[in-house]
Amino acid sequence: MNTKTARMTLLLGLLAGTTAWAAAAAPTPVPKTRKNDLTPLPAAGNPPVTHAPFESGECDLCHKSADPKAPGPITKPVNDLCFDCHDDMRQVLARKSVHVAAQKSCVNCHNPHNAKRKFLLVEKVPGLCMSCHEAIRTIATQSAVKHDALTTGASCLNCHNPHGASVEHLLIQLPFNLCLSCHGKDGVLDHDGKKLTNMKKLLDENPQWHGPVAAQDCTVCHNPHGYKNFRLLNHKYPRTFYSAYDPKLYALCFECHDPDIVAEPVTTTLTGFRDGNRNLHYLHVNKPVRGRTCRACHEVHASKQDHQIRDGVPYGSTGWILKLHYTKTATGGSCAKTCHGKKTYNNRDTGLAKNGPGAAKKN
């Protein structure tokens, strides 16, 4: 696939709103109901939460008979009963994204009489949610990289409305805004105690947003529930500054970009990062040891310069920033006082590079 078709496929994919991981997720059928024991808890046990109509003792508000010893069946379908008094829930269930579990039956999650948990819930969130969403349970609890968004605050309800929402997937806000609501502050620590970038600040200060970030699509690259890869990434990407080259390690980038940009030592077409026909992507990245990973030069969220070139990169374990001093020129660009002295590349020139691995390995 050449760069153009790769980009076309990608842009079409972005337009269609398809995300690679969602497509790859195994379609485990989610049960529409769960078995709950709805028998009223004995008053003697002082159940902490009681539903007002039950407390009133008028069983016939919902059941055929007023006799608490034999109230008989309920008078209409459960949800219609609930809507009689909770009229506002009708509107919530008319939103664009509706929870099948709520549509099916309110008593999937609520005890109509009394309960040990607030909001008359039959089980606490997230256990309640995971009891039907086994695939999410697996990914959230068994992934090597876990996301504290699921275990802090309101858990699943940090992001989802249990009944209905105007954003797809029952989200309480657009995913982009959701992510930034927590990742828009300093001092959020990962599980190794490393400070995570304040993404809102980064985006505010760096006008060149990477394609999918400009499309406000964080989940095209990150799994919000947890995942096996570094930084919850949906596909592999090295975690280090240097890495032996293997295209599989860059599966994330190559979902959308042409892997040939780093595969061919010599080219006059595949990449703009070349000096004459010498492929500088190949030169920097494609090495059996100490190949530079993309992060050495690119900031994948947003940058000040063209081509997602970053100003500097944290180098070593102290967090010291190595400045890149990249300058874009009419015929390519240059880097100064970085890993090497000032070097300039010319990608207008299509002649043979005079030396270097590019020229030597041409086949």
Site track for ligand HEC across 279-318, x = CB under 6 A: --x--xx------x-xxxxx-xx----xxxx---------
Give the binding range for ligand HEC (CB under 6 A) out of 265-273, 315-323, 351-359: 265-273
**Binding-site residue total for ligand HEC (CB under 6 A)?**
141
| In contact, 282 and 327? CB cutoff 8 Å | no
Shortest reach from residue 313's CB to ligand HEC, in Å? 8
Give the binding range for ligand HEC (CB under 6 A) out of 190-198, 315-323, 355-363: 190-198
255 part of the interface to ligand HEC, by CB under 6 A: yes
**CB closer to ligand HEC out of 171 and 352:** 171
**CB closer to ligand HEC out of 61 and 352:** 61
Question: Whole-angstrom Cα distance, residue 12 to residue 17?
Answer: 8
At 143 the three-state DSSP class reads: coil
278 part of the interface to ligand HEC, by CB under 6 A: no
Helix or strand run (H / E) with residue 278:
strand 278-279
**CB closer to ligand HEC out of 141 and 362:** 141
Residue of 23, 161, 174 whose CA lies nearest to 101: 161
Which residues are 115's β-sheet partners? 49
Residues numbered 33-92 forming contacts with ligand HEC, rule: CB under 6 A: 33-34, 37-40, 49, 51-54, 57, 59, 61-63, 68, 71, 74, 78-79, 81-82, 84-86, 89
Shortest reach from residue 238's CB to ligand HEC, in Å? 9
Type of residue at 1: M
**CB closer to ligand HEC out of 40 and 47:** 40
225 part of the interface to ligand HEC, by CB under 6 A: yes
Q: Which two tokens stand for residue 299?
A: 């900031």
Task: Please report, for residues 163, 277, 336, the alpha-carbon distance to residue 361 in angstroms, rounded to integers and kept in the order given.
Answer: 61, 12, 27
Question: Whole-angstrom Cα distance, residue 168 to residue 219?
Answer: 13
**CB closer to ligand HEC out of 43 and 360:** 43
Q: Cβ atoms within 10 A of the Cβ of 147, count?
A: 18
**CB closer to ligand HEC out of 133 and 278:** 133
Q: Cβ atoms within 10 A of the Cβ of 228, count?
A: 14
Residue 247 has φ and ψ, to the nearest 5°, of: -55, -30
Question: Whole-angstrom Cα distance, residue 75 to residue 62?
Answer: 6
Shortest reach from residue 202's CB to ligand HEC, in Å? 9
| In contact, 210 and 308? CB cutoff 8 Å | yes
Q: Which two tokens stand for residue 363?
A: 């086949």
Q: Which two tokens stand for residue 120?
A: 């008359």
Shortest reach from residue 304's CB to ligand HEC, in Å? 13
Site track for ligand HEC across 121-150, x = CB under 6 A: x---xx-xxxxxx--x---x----xxxxxx
| In contact, 299 and 308? CB cutoff 8 Å | yes
Q: Which of 75, 177, 181, 305 binds ligand HEC (CB under 6 A)?
A: 181
332 part of the interface to ligand HEC, by CB under 6 A: yes
229 part of the interface to ligand HEC, by CB under 6 A: no
